[in-house]
Amino acid sequence: MKWLQNEKGEMLIDNSKKIVIKLGSTTVIDKKGNFKKAWVTSLIRDIKKYKKNKDIVIVSSGAIAIGQKYLKIKQKKIKLEMSQAIASIGQIHLAEEFQKIFKKNNFRVGQILISPDDTEQRKRALNVKRTFDNLFKLKAIPIVNENDTTATSEIKYGDNDRLAARVAQIIGADTLIIFSDVDGLYDKENQGKLIKEVKNLNSNIFKLADTKITSYGSGGMITKLEAASICMNAGCHMFIGNGNRKNPIKYMVEKKIFTKFIPKISTLAARKKWIVSSLSSHGTIFIDKGASNALKNGKSLLAAGIKSISGKFDKGENILISDLDNNKLARGLASFSSNEIGKIKGRQSNEIERILGYSSKTEVVHKDDMVKL
């Protein structure tokens, strides 16, 4: 079966290594506040069919909706403070529903609750990425939601479309699929025709978005376009598809009904642009000639080639890499703190665990976290 294809006929999903799937409240919770077990089961069948050698993340709404059902609260407009309390109750029930239904289909899941600070602050975003990476190593599918219980109106996504896009950006996803209650973006000025592909997200495209939201949902097409903007600048393809159909991925593929947003740059190029955009570095690592040559050939920086360091920095912070003549060679994200590097500099990678007392990465700066200057 051919998957969602780009203009060159390359199979995007088949070539994707990391895929984020966003589920809106109305796709997982029915009008009575019940969890849609049959629909989620059909989605899991799709995931099972196409998951081979792929890391999958699910960003799901629905905590407040299922919390209202449990508490027998029917009112639609609820103050932020009360909705946070309802979300804290609903989140447990939502996570339980996902855990039971995925376990039944032989999948392991983990829960991650994210607030805007976790994605907008570079250091915290890197910590979030490590959590995702470790869940992938454990062969688990992360189930993500906004941390509604601690967010305020000033620091709140307010929808999970943009949250899903930020998650896709942080983990370096190739593809984000947003399931909604419509087939995609429609051209209201062209007899409501479905727009199949968007390459340039300009003001004319935003004018096509409606502002309608559901009783449970907090987004609409505007937030999906804002999510598309994040993805397109992060090197991630994004699709809007209909989540009212069973086997929604299969439906999108076979019927070819969706709106596709084409990124402007590759995922790796976007990540390196993000790294080099930092205005200042927190320290410098000085390396020998052998390590300098390795960097020039596209290799990661290992502890063995490090001669000295200057400055104090934490794991994940932006640093400079220079040779012994103080020529700036690269900028990157440190996998260890300055204190840890001071202990392992000049040592072999297989000695790191013994020296530090715990297992960690072998690269002091990974090649994907490095931009040559």
Annotate the chain with three-state secondary structure. CCCCECCCCCEHHHHCCEEEEEECHHHHECCCCCECHHHHHHHHHHHHHHCCCCEEEEEECCHHHHHHHHHCCCCCCCCHHHHHHHHHHHHHHHHHHHHHHHHHCCCEEEEEEECHHHHHCHHHHHHHHHHHHHHHHCCEEEEEEECCCCCCCCCCCCCHHHHHHHHHHHHCCCEEEEEECCCCCEECCCCCEECCEECCCCHHHHCCCCCCCCCCCCCCHHHHHHHHHHHHHCCCEEEEEECCCCCHHHHHHHHCCCEEECCCCCHHHHHHHHHHCCCCCCCEEEECHHHHHHHHCCCCEEHHHEEEEECCCCCCCEEEEEECCCCEEEEEECCCCHHHHHHHCCCCHHHHHHHHCCCCCCEEECHHHEEEC
**278-372 classified as CATH 1.10.1270.20:** no
Q: What is the pLDDT of residue 228?
A: 93
Higher pLDDT, 308 or 188: 308
The average pLDDT across 251-275 equals: 83
Please give the pLDDT value at position 207. Answer: 83
Write down the architecture of domain 12-268 according to CATH. Answer: 3-Layer(aba) Sandwich (3.40)
pLDDT exceeds cutoff 70 at 254: yes
Q: What is the pTM of this model?
A: 0.78
Higher-scoring residue by pLDDT: 192, 92: 92
Domain boundaries defined on the chain: 12-268, 278-372
Q: Which two tokens stand for residue 59?
A: 């960003």
Mind listing the pLDDT tens digit for each residue in 327-359?
999 999 899 999 999 999 999 999 999 999 987
* Per-residue model confidence (pLDDT) at position 8: 42
The pLDDT of residue 211 is 54
pLDDT attached to residue 9 = 36
Query: Does the pLDDT of residue 214 top 70, yes or no?
Result: no
Look at 263 and 80; give whichever has higher pLDDT.
263
